[in-house]
Amino acid sequence: MSDSIEPAAEPARTADEPAAQDTAEAFRTRRSRALVTILVIAAVVVLADQLTKLWATSTLKEGEYHSVLGALLGLQLTYNSGAAFSFLVNATWVFTIIAALAVVALLWFSRLVGSRAWAVAFGLLLGGAVTHLGDRLFRAPSFGQGHVVDFIAYVNWFIGNVADIAIFCGAVLALVLSVAGVPLRGGPRHTHTAPNEAG
């Protein structure tokens, strides 16, 4: 009588090994979807920012304040050659370079994104950076030294625009995801658990 041959048992997967479903092909699929999300959100941010700036420049008078929520929020058109709080107003080209580098960096690291949440953060940041770069390059007074259109006044503190809101929200979301340990590439999170001891 012949003995039955049992198939060799597969070695148990350790907690440090990636989950079976998190293959290279799965990541490529997630990355493709994330890239679409990033580009769509970035395009929406650019469109919203430029359309609201077009409305502001055609409707509001420069320096004239219009209250929306008392002194908390209002509309006031201004042309900013510097950064927030009119910082470095005489060095516009510095912010043009910074915006260009930010766009390149975000596009480069977008290749590593597979998480939907991270894709949203990257889309917001990329959209804000692209539209700011467009202002610096193509708005008056000259190429590369354009003044950004700001029109949303916050508590007499500073004046911003839609792109600033997108960048702020994207940065906060990225911080939350980092603290929460959400992997940039998406997929299952890797947990480290102590192996069960034989009793």
Q: Which residues are catalytic?
A: 150, 164
Which distant-in-sequence residues (6+ apart) come within 8 Å of 125 by Cβ?
102, 106, 166, 167, 170, 171, 174
Structure-block tokens of residue 60: 């509001």
* DSSP-based three-state secondary structure for 108: helix
**What is the C-alpha to C-alpha distance for residues 120 and 35, in angstroms, rounded to an integer?**
10
Beta-carbon neighbour count of residue 82 at 10 Å? 16
C-alpha triplet 42, 166, 127: angle, nearest 5°:
25
CA 43 from centre of chain = 12
**What is the C-alpha to C-alpha distance for residues 192 and 1, in angstroms, rounded to an integer?**
47
* DSSP-based three-state secondary structure for 42: helix
**What is the C-alpha to C-alpha distance for residues 113 and 117, in angstroms, rounded to an integer?**
9
